[in-house]
Structure 1
């Protein structure tokens, strides 16, 4: 079975609807690279991959890889959890600085009109989700 057919079979089995396409993923990658002060770290869940555990902490000490190849194949992305902050090392005896670009990232999502929601664990961008758009945030509405 081809990857595309395997993805479609899983979408049908779970009743998921598509909310993103290649154009929207590419627009997001480009905006992150050009507009944010650093590439925020993210977790990616593929439709056909086993469920993964979320990071223990929402403060990480690394950047995300937003290169063209990093999110491929975009056809299989169920969701992307973005944590737009990181612990910047300052010195051995100094606490790390928390660098946060959440407001800029939120503005970017609203401007691009992407399907997203925000909670205490980060920003969730959905490639596929249950066919209930009321659970997503659109056009700057308050998250549900």
Structure 2
């Protein structure tokens, strides 16, 4: 088998896996999310269009893609991460778009620590004001907590005016 044959086989395998995802796995996963949303009595506050617009605005209008903690409707309930630990990384906003319909909430830390050396404290770059403007311009319901993190709810059991950060206990 030549290199070209192996490359063609890999490309065909990849295309078959993508086709299976689109035709079988994705509809099954979406049905599981819908069933969990109904069972838990959650209301939808975001849609694919809003998630896509938010992701595009993050890359176009902010100085860096902020880190976030994500809770999926079907995912294990994880303890809340320390916002300062999250601030050391970057967010994978481009990966969020494909399965945004499964996001229960997103906790965004709009600051980034840039190391400056061992003897000098890290520089903290904060884009909270710019992020807040993006959310307001796109009419995305959110809550800001005392740790200066932003909570964006895909689904929640309450009216957006009364949304609060989830407790650390599973629902």
TM-score, with length taken from structure 1: 0.87
Whichever structure has more strand as a proportion of its residues is: 1
User: How has the CA–CA distance of structure 1 residues 56 and 133 changed in structure 2, closer, same or farther, with 3 Å as cutoff?
Assistant: closer
Whichever structure has more helix as a proportion of its residues is: 2
CA RMSD across the alignment: 1.7
TM-score, with length taken from structure 2: 0.74
Aligned to 1:65: 92
SS at match of 1:81: strand
Aligned to 1:135: 162
Query: May I ask how many residue pairs the two structures share in their alignment?
Result: 136
For residue 103 of structure 2, the aligned residue among 45, 69, 77 is 77
Contact 1:15-1:131 within 8 A present in 2 as well: no
* Larger Cα-atom Rg: 2
* Superposition map of 1:93-104 within 5 A: 93-104=119-130
CA distance in structure 1 between the aligned counterparts of 2:101 and 2:83, rounded to whole angstroms: 28
SS at match of 1:120: coil
Q: Structure 1: give runs of 5+ residues left out of the alignment.
A: 138-144
Deviation at 1:120, TM superposition (A): 2.0
Aligned to 1:39: 65
Deviation at 1:71, TM superposition (A): 4.3
Which stretch shifts more, 118-127 or 53-62?
53-62
